[in-house]
Amino acid sequence: MIEHCLINDLLKAVVRAGHSNTRARRAVLRALCEADGQATPIQLLALGRAHLPSLGLVTVYRTLDILSELGLVRKLHLDEGCSTYALSPAGVQQTADDVRTLAASAHAHSHHVICQRCRRAVEFAGCDIQMLVDAVEMQTGYRVTEHWLEMFGLCPDCQARGAAAGEV
Chain contacts with DNA (rule: CB under 7 A): 15, 18-25, 40-42, 52, 54-59, 61-63, 65, 81-83
* Among the listed residues 143, 164, 165, 166, the single contact to a second copy using CB under 8 A: 143
φ, ψ of residue 102 to 5 degrees: the values are -60, -50
Contacts 24+ apart (CB under 8 A), 63-67: 63/24, 63/25, 63/28, 63/29, 64/28, 66/14, 66/17, 66/19, 67/10, 67/14, 67/32
H or E stretch covering 73: strand 73-78
**How many binding residues for a second copy (CB under 8 A)?**
39
The full length of the chain comes to 168
* Among the listed residues 18, 53, 141, 166, the single contact to a second copy using CB under 8 A: 141
154 part of the interface to a second copy, by CB under 8 A: yes
Q: CB neighbours (10 Å) of residue 106?
A: 18
Instruction: Spell out, one character per residue from 43 to 82, where the chain touches a second copy: x when CB under 8 A holds, - when not.
Output: --------------------------------x-x-x-xx
User: Closer to a second copy at the Cβ: 128 or 167?
Assistant: 128
Q: Please list, in sequence order, all residues whose beta carbon lies within 8 angstroms of the beta carbon of residue 109, skipping any fewer than 6 positions away.
A: 127, 146, 147, 148, 149
User: Closer to DNA at the Cβ: 79 or 167?
Assistant: 79
Cα(98)–Cα(116) distance, integer angstroms: 36
20 part of the interface to a second copy, by CB under 8 A: no
163 part of the interface to a second copy, by CB under 8 A: no
166 part of the interface to a second copy, by CB under 8 A: no
* Residues near a second copy (CB under 8 A): 75, 77, 79, 81-82, 113, 115-116, 122, 124-129, 132-133, 135-137, 139-156, 159
